[in-house]
Every structure is written in C-alpha cells, then in structure tokens.
Amino acid sequence: MSETRTGRIEEETKSGKGRRIELSQTVIEALKSHRQRQQKEINHANGTYQNRDFMFASTVGTTTNSKNLYYRSFKRILKRAGLPDIVFHGLRHTCATIRSMKGQHLKQVQELLGHSSVAVTLDIYSHVIPGMGGRDVMEDALS
C-alpha cells in the first residue's frame, strides 16, 4: 500500500523485490504480541471494527493516516525514548547505518534497501563502514 496526494493505493508490488524485509526474533515476538492485543481490541469492538487484516490499523480497523502516525505516535515514541527528532524515513537510514557499522556485507544491505546496485549503497554509507578510511593501511601492512 502506498499513500499519494490523491489517496491510498492498495496493490501488490510490481516485483518480488518489493517484499524485502528481514526481521529479528525480537521483532517477530513484538509483532506477535501486538497482534494478540489487536485481536482483543477487535473482539471488544462489538462488530464496529472493519477487519481488513492490517497489522497497524486505526482504532476502527481502517488504514492509518501517515500524518497521524508521525505526529501522534512516532514523535511521542522518540521523545519518550530520549531519541532525536527524525523523520520517519530516517529509520531506513538508521537501519542501514547500524547494519553497515556492525559489518553486515554491503551486498545484503543493498538488497534490503532495494538500491539498484551496491555502488549506490556504497556512495551513501561508505562513511560508516568499518575499514573505510581513518588509518594508513599500507603503513600498517608494511610495519
């Protein structure tokens, strides 16, 4: 689903590459817990909930408005966690930066982000990749 200026579009992605996601076990458990809470809310809604099987729906089961999600939820979560005020898209960069800094192979990061080539990913994230500067490697090799 995507949100445009004229409304929301619900359709499958053009290719399988649109479904690229890698979840840790911690995230999977958190999503399962969320789904259980959501199911309880649906059961208590007395038929007023429009269950369209969205993982993150409004209180009545419809799609969430991106501005509401950002201002009513995301910004509050950042503040409560003592994190800097970033735009939602910043999570994508944070994820890629952490993966790069922790030494995940850049090809895997590129595929996860959906960049057309590893060169694009390297251009954006080379400053955080371990071993990409900061010391004279030839000096180290010859010492």
Q: What is the 3-state secondary structure (H, E, C) of the chain?
A: CEEECCEEECCCCCCHHHCCCCCCHHHHHHHHHHHHHHHHHHHHCCCCCCCCCCCCECCCCCECCHHHHHHHHHHHHHHHCCCCCCCCCHHHHHHHHHHHHCCCCHHHHHHHHCCCCHHHHHHHHHHHCCCCCCCCHHHHHHC
Q: Tell whether pTM > 0.85.
A: no
Distance of alpha carbon 48 from alpha carbon 67, whole angstroms: 24
Higher-pLDDT residue of 1, 127: 127
Q: What is the mean pLDDT of the chain?
A: 83
Could you give the CA distance from residue 57 to residue 35 in angstroms, rounded to a whole number?
11
Chain segment 51-85, per-residue pLDDT in tens: 888 888 888 888 888 888 899 899 999 999 999 99
